[in-house]
């Protein structure tokens, strides 16, 4: 997949250099997608034979959703494409014309700034921004594949997992429309891969890369930083050489150093990695967020959280509902039925 990204970026550099000579940018972007696809196909055909049809189908589905969302939205709006995607696009286009906005707070945060930088340096084509997400989505598939191989997972299990990752409906959608989920998932998948690599090799560079990718993901969505708690536990107590957890004075010292490092990072860069948490001033703010019932698809509307105990008890329930709603008794129309069949059922 690295070669595919290199070919893609080389084409973008050439487009940026000669864009003054181009009249139909959308046609050029389509050509870039075509050339990039050739190299991506070579990568797909290096995967296990049984998984190749599913990965290829996953890529073709992503391209179909991509072009339909850009050119066919007047016929039917792809699920989840709407308010957020248009907000990201609007912010990115503003940044492309006014680079000063890169240093200010904008709708969509880092994702909008990433898009704005792309549009400013290359061309402000929506198709280009969404194809980035397609490549992020395909990168996720190959990262998962490398992770499964690294763990020596049974080949049949690999095929099943690769099929699910390639064809899961909402994964196809989120990696084709103008949303930030695709880049966040890719960064977390890369972080997980290097964390597993560290657990097998004890290489400090792998541990560092795992944390770096995690922090990059948290820049796009602050909630990702929560995974650092699990990483900290592993770094403190897990010994890759013995494959055992060890609780000794040395681990306590490591924990202290990591806490010190975390405090320094938060004090210097908290506004970058934890932007979503800046408005939290006390526990009552957290209770209000946990009890929020915004939107027409709100669930558990009678549940109120007013203490730490209730937060610990009800959070897992809310997490479960988040995964499986809308249940039949929540359906408000065809869109909810589609969401249930394509997401909750799977």
Domains of the chain: which residue ranges?
2-280, 281-346
Q: Are the beta carbons of 326 and 295 closer than 8 angstroms? A: no
**How does pLDDT run across 283-317, given as a tens digit for each residue?**
454 445 555 555 445 555 566 666 666 667 777 77
- pLDDT reading at 68 higher than 60: yes
- pLDDT reading at 275 higher than 60: no
Question: What is the distance, to the nearest Å, from the Cα of residue 272 to the centroid of all Cα atoms in its chain?
Answer: 17
Query: Residue 167: is it exposed, middle or buried by C-beta count within 10 angstroms (0-12/13-18/19+)?
Result: middle
The reported pLDDT for the residue numbered 188 is 94
- Per the prediction, the chain carries an average pLDDT of 81
Q: 3-class DSSP state for residue 245?
A: strand
Instruction: Select from 143, 137, 138 the least CA-distant residue to 175.
Output: 137
The reported pLDDT for the residue numbered 282 is 47
- pLDDT reading at 130 higher than 80: yes
Average pLDDT over residues 252-262: 70
Q: What's the CA gap between 157 and 147, in Å, rounded?
A: 13
Most confident segment among 60-69, 74-83, 147-156, 202-211: 60-69
Q: What's the CA gap between 110 and 155, in Å, rounded?
A: 38
The reported pLDDT for the residue numbered 264 is 66
Q: 20-24, 76-80, 232-236, 324-328 — which is least confidently predicted?
A: 324-328
- pLDDT reading at 345 higher than 80: no
The reported pLDDT for the residue numbered 272 is 53
Q: What's the CA gap between 200 and 88, in Å, rounded?
A: 39
The reported pLDDT for the residue numbered 287 is 45
- Neighbour count for residue 253 (Cβ, 10 Å): 11
The reported pLDDT for the residue numbered 246 is 72
Q: What are phi and psi for residue 244, nearest 5 degrees?
A: -130, 155
Q: What's the CA gap between 146 and 157, in Å, rounded?
A: 13
Per the structure block, which two tokens stand in for 37?
């696809």
Average pLDDT over residues 154-173: 87
Strand partners of residue 239: 244
**How does pLDDT run across 175-211, given as a tens digit for each residue?**
999 898 999 999 999 999 999 998 888 888 998 999 8
- Neighbour count for residue 304 (Cβ, 10 Å): 13
Between these two residues, 331 and 31, which has the higher pLDDT value?
31
Q: What's the CA gap between 32 and 34, in Å, rounded?
A: 5
- Neighbour count for residue 271 (Cβ, 10 Å): 11
Between these two residues, 341 and 109, which has the higher pLDDT value?
109
Between these two residues, 231 and 56, which has the higher pLDDT value?
56
């Amino acid at each position: 997949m690295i070669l595919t990204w290199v070919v893609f970026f080389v084409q973008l550099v050439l487009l940026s250099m000669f864009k003054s000579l181009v009249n139909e940018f959308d046609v050029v972007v389509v050509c870039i997608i075509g050339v990039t696809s050739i190299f991506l196909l070579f990568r797909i055909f290096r995967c296990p034979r049984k998984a190749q049809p599913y990965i290829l189908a996953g890529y073709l589905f992503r391209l179909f959703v991509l072009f339909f969302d850009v050119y066919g939205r007047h016929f039917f709006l792809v699920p989840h494409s709407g308010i957020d995607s248009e907000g990201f696009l609007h912010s990115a286009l503003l940044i492309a014309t006014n680079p000063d906005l890169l240093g200010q707070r904008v709708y969509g945060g880092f994702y909008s700034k990433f898009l704005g930088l792309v549009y400013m340096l290359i061309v402000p084509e929506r198709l280009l921004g969404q194809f980035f997400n397609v490549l992020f989505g395909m990168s996720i598939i190959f990262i998962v594949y490398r992770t499964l191989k690294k763990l020596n997972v049974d080949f049949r299990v690999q095929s099943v997992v690769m099929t699910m990752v390639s064809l899961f409906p909402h994964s196809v959608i989120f990696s084709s429309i103008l949303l930030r989920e695709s880049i966040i998932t890719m960064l977390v998948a890369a972080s997980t891969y290097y964390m597993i690599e560290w657990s097998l090799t004890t290489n400090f560079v792998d541990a560092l890369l795992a944390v770096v990718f995690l922090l990059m993901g948290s820049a796009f969505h602050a909630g990702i930083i929560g995974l650092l708690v699990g990483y900290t536990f592993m770094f403190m107590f897990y010994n890759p050489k013995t494959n055992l957890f060890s609780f000794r004075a040395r681990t306590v010292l490591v924990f202290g150093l990591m806490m010190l490092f975390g405090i320094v990072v938060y004090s210097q860069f908290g506004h970058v990695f934890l932007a979503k948490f800046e408005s939290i001033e006390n526990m009552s703010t957290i209770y209000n967020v946990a009890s929020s019932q915004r939107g027409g698809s709100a669930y558990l509307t009678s549940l109120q959280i007013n203490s730490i105990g209730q937060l610990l008890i009800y959070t897992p329930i809310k997490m479960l509902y988040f995964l499986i709603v809308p249940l039949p008794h929540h359906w408000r129309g065809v869109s909810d039925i589609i969401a249930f069949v394509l997401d909750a059922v799977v």
